Chains A and B, each alone.
Chain A
Amino acid sequence: MTQTTSHPSAASAESGPIGRFLKATEIDTRLVGMVGALVAIWVGFHLYGLIVNGTGVFLTPRNLWNLSVQTASIGIMACGMVLVIITRHIDLSVGSVLGFTAMVMGITQVWILPQWLGLGHPLIWLITGVVGIAVGTAIGAFHGWLVAYRGIPAFIVTLGGLLVWRGAAFLLARGETISPVDAHFALIGGGPYGSIGAIGSWVVGLIVCAAIVWLLVAGRRQRKKFEFPLRPMWAEYTLGIVGCAVMIGAVLLVNAYPWPRGIVSQYAAAQGIEVPEGGLFISHGFAIPVLVLACVGVVMTFIMTRTRFGRYVLAIGGNPDAAELAGIDTRWMTVKIFALMGFLTGLSAIVASARLNSATNSLGQLDELYVIAAAVIGGTSLAGGVGTIYGAIIGALVMQSLKTGMVLIGFDAAMQDIVVGVVLVLAVYVDKLYRSRAK
């Protein structure tokens, strides 16, 4: 059991300094590729703005903060879509289910609960959220049951769901827009008040840094105990330093984006603070929806890599018959996977409707396509068995960066659709090339 025993043949193909670095640190080359593409998109849009329009606005704290908030809703759902696609299914209904659950929550918190609890009661947001997630989970479980126990292909079940739940959302409120939502509820959508501020962001940042270090140390100790090959120490340090640097950079970034002047004076008036001459600098810090996405990402990654459930998801995707023969109840697993997708759709509906401060009939329209695209750009294979949570989140970030960037440089809607479509096809093609080379 020496150092050389256990490395994929794919890594041996690249033997330059970069290849050696990746091999030693055990970083997925696909991750490097995706991050590289993301950076290229960001810098490209910034330079384009700088050269053509005279001002580069993409790489500013304000834009990147907004980008993070806009990514949250799609990113949360993409985490669930990864599981659905890994098990060789598809969910076309998430946009409509999001619209429907948002409408249910709008009615709950605006029409029903204030009658019982009184307007602005602190429990309203909580009850509403629970109702929304419960409805989403139930719809997902129902779809999963139709797929698993009634043998209807997921494509058809969720295509039907796409139509049914959009229609149902319309009928619920006769097409009305329900607004504004509960004040506490609205915080989950972000905005100046829906962010945790400079100090809170530092706390989050330091906790994450501590977690990175702890994971590296614990992982090394565990491998040592069983005498498995270890990473060289410099690789461990590099991983730790890069991880912490990225985290601290993110904190500095979100803290560099101040509240708008209007909100500051409104806040100062409410708190009885004197606004000094040069204005008051209050940092946004991380937005709550971004923290929600981060938590979902961590929890889902944990589920996929450390629990039996996650292992079975991958096994079913790799070979459904083998999974069945290994004693895995694949049908019940399918129900659970779709229910989880529904759960995350409900959560996403909270974020989306809170951000909009209303429940509209068209909320979430076409989201299914962006969610699927995010998962696929993030390396989830439609053939099943392959996909990662972090990939899907980066995929969502890529999609959102493209959309935002094109708006900033003044592309019209038609052009945006063309670019997004081309990028999706291209991303899958590149992924296919990568895979066939790796074999």
Chain B
Amino acid sequence: MTTTEKPRTPLVEMRDISIAFGGIKAVDHVTIDLYPGEVVGLLGHNGAGKSTLIKCLSGAYQADGGDIFIDGKKATITNPRDARHYNIETIYQTLALADNLDAASNLFLGRELVTAAGLVDDVRMEAETRKIMGRLNPNFRKFNVPVSALSGGQRQSVAIARAVYFNARILIMDEPTAALGPHETQMVAELIEELKAQGLGIFLIEHDIHNVMKLCDRASVMKNGQLVGTVNVKDVTDEDILGMIILGKKPGQAA
């Protein structure tokens, strides 16, 4: 399906993935892949199956059929912990933050830093959080309040910090800019460029076609649970991609 030849092994290959909920095929034999240092956009209408597909990779769902390969080796991902072992980090659309906990507790949730006695080391976690937030969002000051007291952008930066802190190799971003203002959107865009330069592979679920054209190297379009096709973004126009999303037709095919 890919339009260019790549000699390297893909970082991730999701091959022939299917998943159904009560007879409805949410994802129907979809194959996508991702190379290091690349941003692949996942596009489609609401309900096209993008989030469901990606949740098979992040461990939130288990596929009914198909295989996932990481670095060319078959990977078994049955829960979010497995995904984290493969250095797959996810920024969910809902951000998946525990609103009653502060930024540091959320950042390290499930992977707390502990003292020699095995107790949670809040002070060290706060220090680490101050460090990474100083890099991602220098204006961030609210370290000791529940994240429910933060603005949308601040919450987003906590979720992003969580994904970045643990040396992700594969990053999944589910509409990371949906709730953000223009300035913060620009910050996320710069971050994506920076992470890409570091050699991460990024799956980006995105509705805004301009962001896709700007940020993504390739785009995989889904419709009704099936893959319409994957294109090189620089070889197509935004209208071509819109046509794939709306009509389910690959560019070059008669509409």
> A residues engaging B (CB < 8 A)?
1, 5-9, 222-223, 225-226, 228, 306-308, 310-312, 314-315, 317-319, 321-328, 385-386, 439
Contact = CB atoms under 8 A, between A and B. Distances in A.
B141 A6 contact: yes
A318 B145 contact: no
Contact of B105 (A223, A226, A315, A324): A315
A380 to B, nearest CB: 12
Per DSSP, chain A at the interface is helix
Given A8-B149, A223-B123, A323 B144 contact: no
Interface string B74-94: 000001110010000010101
Interface size band for B? 35 or more
Contacts, number: 95
B135 interface: no
Contact of B119 (A1, A222, A225, A306): A306
Nearest to B143: A6
Given A6-B144, A306-B120, A322 B98 contact: yes
A3 to B, nearest CB: 12
A324 B95 CA distance: 13
Per DSSP, chain B at the interface is loop
Contacts of B175: none
Interface string B138-153: 0001111100010000
Contacts of B58: 325
A404 B92 CA distance: 52
Nearest to B141: A5
Interface in B46-102: 58, 60, 79-81, 84, 90, 92, 94-101
Contacts of A306: 119-120
Contact of A222 (B81, B94, B123): B123
B124 interface: yes
B43 to A, nearest CB: 23
Given A319-B98, A321-B94, A322-B109, A9 B141 contact: no
A407 B23 CA distance: 63
B149 A311 contact: no
A318 B124 CA distance: 23
B179 to A, nearest CB: 16
B96 to A, nearest CB: 4
Interface of B: 58, 60, 79-81, 84, 90, 92, 94-101, 105-106, 109-112, 114, 118-120, 123-124, 126-127, 130, 141-145, 149
A323 B120 CA distance: 17
Contact of B144 (A8, A311, A319, A321): A8
A180 to B, nearest CB: 43
Given A6-B142, A7-B144, A308 B101 contact: no
A222 B119 CA distance: 15
Contacts of B99: 318-319, 385
Contacts of B111: 326-327
Nearest to B159: A322
Contacts of B123: 222-223, 225-226, 228
A327 B84 contact: yes
Which of A223, A310, A328 has the most CB atoms of chain B within a 10 A radius of its CB?
A328
Contacts of B100: 314, 317-318, 385-386
B183 to A, nearest CB: 22
B120 A318 contact: no
B144 A315 contact: no
B143 A325 contact: no
Contacts of B84: 327
Nearest to B142: A6
B130 A326 contact: no
Contacts of A325: 58, 60, 80, 90, 92, 96
A86 to B, nearest CB: 9
A361 B58 CA distance: 52
B60 A311 contact: no
Contacts of B98: 314-315, 317-319, 322-323, 385
Given A308-B112, A311-B105, 10 more contacts: A1-B130, A226-B127, A228-B126, A228-B127, A315-B101, A323-B109, A323-B110, A324-B80, A325-B90, A439-B149
B144 A328 contact: no
A225 B126 CA distance: 12
Given A308-B112, A326-B109, A9 B149 contact: yes
Contacts of A228: 123, 126-127
Going nearest first, the 6 A-B pairs with the smallest beta carbon separation are: A318-B98, A318-B100, A326-B110, A385-B100, A327-B81, A322-B96
B149 A319 contact: no
5 contacts: A226-B126, A306-B120, A311-B109, A318-B98, A327-B111
A386 B146 CA distance: 11
A86 B229 CA distance: 46
A319 B120 contact: no
Contacts of A314: 98, 100-101, 105
A312 B143 CA distance: 19
Contacts of B79: 327
A5 to B, nearest CB: 5
Contacts of B101: 311, 314-315, 318
B54 to A, nearest CB: 12
A1 B129 CA distance: 13
Contacts of A9: 145, 149
Nearest to A223: B123
A275 to B, nearest CB: 51
Nearest to A6: B144
A322 B90 CA distance: 11
